[in-house]
Amino acid sequence: MASAPAVHLHLGHEQRTSGSGGTHPHLHPVKQVVQADIPLAGAKEVEEAVARAAGVQEDWRRTPPETRRDILNRLADLLEANKRTLAEMAALDGGTTLMVGERGVDTAVGWTRYYAGWCDKMSGELISTFDTRGELSYTVPEPIGIVGIIITWNGPLISLGMKVAAALAAGNCVICKPAEITPFAPEMFAQLCKQAGVPDGVLSILPGTAEAGEAIVRHKKIRKISFTGGPITARKILAACAEEIKPSVMELGGKSASLVFPDCDLQAAAERAVFWTVGCLSGQGCALPTRQLVHADVYDDFVARLKAIIGQFKVGDPMDPSVAVGPVINKAAVDRILGMFERAKVDGAAKFELGGGRCGGELADGNFIEPTLIVDADPDHEISQVEIFGPAVVVMKFHTEDEAVAIANNSEYGLAAYIQSNDLQRVHRLSERLSAGGVYNNGGFQINPHTPFGGIGISGFGKEGGKAGIDEFLHYKTVTIGVGAPIFPKQEA
């Protein structure tokens, strides 16, 4: 079983054991004892990393596309070869179960390979206006330059695969700040990038606090920001980007609804609902279907199925392969989640069919929340409107499609929506009406690298995945050549 590795500040290939941001004591997610002191970057290290990136940006931009492709494919190979260890790093980071951790590695591998394939396929277009203007135009995709990537603590390896691989494929240099509370998987990712052949200075990975994040956002040589996190931090980043007139991509979470109709496979839908809300990252995921909207005709049946499935989920040490639900990220999360539960109970906003408290017994000292089934929820209450980010599923009843759509769209978020139905006409009809960046039918959340992923509303803007994802790290230059008669004829004397 893996132990916590030494964490470094990676300024290109240089590894430092200390930084100007001080240190962060990382607590074991189960035992709640300090397992490592994490060095933190500050503005000083960001400045040095940018200087190194600026020195190699032109060389990296002009590196043959097939060379960048081969580097990223080697990185994917290394990630795959180290799947078990990376999954264990995720468990040590924040309590991700081994099964979910291994799925996260698979996701990072898939995205890295996908963007490796884009390296030699980026192209512009030819636009002929010869007939009307005597001109010929074409566009050229170019890297933005140095980009800043700031990722949150839930699933850091997935975010690294989604963002860093795309930025490098497009020919950019990257300054990346992972969260200081989940440093181990990013540490290993940095080591594997070096092994794969990412040149010195092209990628710096700097765990740090808000000081480092602000330095990245405000640095004038960093031309774009890609951020995954919450709306509160996003507003601060956007304000700073506005001052610098700097573009950004924001992935900010969601309170996604899954509409369950009588014609679906109810057992399969219930199993998906529980895994994707309780078992996946202990509910700490941005696009999980945490609001289950169930048709009245099958409501009681579906709730009974949810209850039976949740009751089978084992809670415990994420290093135990038999465990389905690990701890939440820290004590602050425990207190926040339990506070939401208590307010819902006091307000009479929902019925707690299962759970609703902190785990006791041998798990009492850890950050463990009981798998929680919340039914008959008030659609307007906090419990139905705000991300719980814990192992809980909220269930509401609807009678008609119109009512289901109204409840689903009654949210500031708009990252994902789900439809559990075998009626394809209904699926197409509702997909058009649901306010979300992505709609998934008869399935759970799929982070597919071939398709764009991103939200609307306070779920953010911009895309990751597909051509749209690579385009976020490019700008298109237009070149126009005069090849015909001049537009303005020469005047006779």
What is the four-CA torsion angle of 233, 239, 244, 246, rounded to 10 degrees? Answer: 60
How does pLDDT run across 442-470, given as a tens digit for each residue?
988 888 999 999 999 999 999 999 999 99
Residue whose tokens read 């008030």: 378
How does pLDDT run across 12-65, given as a tens digit for each residue?
999 999 999 999 999 988 988 999 999 999 999 999 999 999 999 999 999 999
What is the four-CA torsion angle of 220, 221, 224, 229, rounded to 10 degrees? Answer: -70
Provide the domain limits for residue 393. 257-441
Beta bridge partners of 148: 175, 225
CATH number of the domain at 25, please: 3.40.605.10
Tell me how many domains the chain contains: 2
In the chain, the amino acid numbered 367 is N
* Residue 211: active-site member: no
Which strands make up the sheet holding 126-129, listed edge to edge? 126-129, 135-143, 474-482
Average pLDDT over residues 373-395: 98
Chain-centroid distance, C-alpha 327: 19
Average pLDDT over residues 175-184: 98
Tokens encoding 103:
């799925």
- E strands in 77-177: 126-129, 135-143, 146-150, 173-177
- Active site residue: 251, 353, 370, 387, which one? 251
How does pLDDT run across 213-256, given as a tens digit for each residue?
999 999 999 999 999 999 999 999 999 999 999 999 999 999 99
Does pTM top 0.75 for this prediction?
Answer: yes
Task: Tell me, yes or no, whether 490 lies in a domain.
Answer: no
Is residue 224 located within the same domain as residue 84? yes
Query: Where are the alpha helices (H) located in 128-265, listed in sequence order?
Result: 130-133, 156-169, 184-196, 210-218, 231-244
Task: Tell me, yes or no, whether 388 lies in a domain.
Answer: yes
**Kind and range of the H or E element at 113?**
helix 98-118
Beta bridge partners of 351: 375
Q: Cα(10)–Cα(236) distance, rounded to whole angstroms?
A: 26
Is residue 220 located within the same domain as residue 303? no
Is residue 135 located within the same domain as residue 276? no
Beta bridge partners of 50: none
Is residue 246 located within the same domain as residue 263? no
Is residue 366 located within the same domain as residue 426? yes
Cβ burial 240-255 (10 Å sphere, 16+ → b, else e):
bbeeeebebbbbbbbb
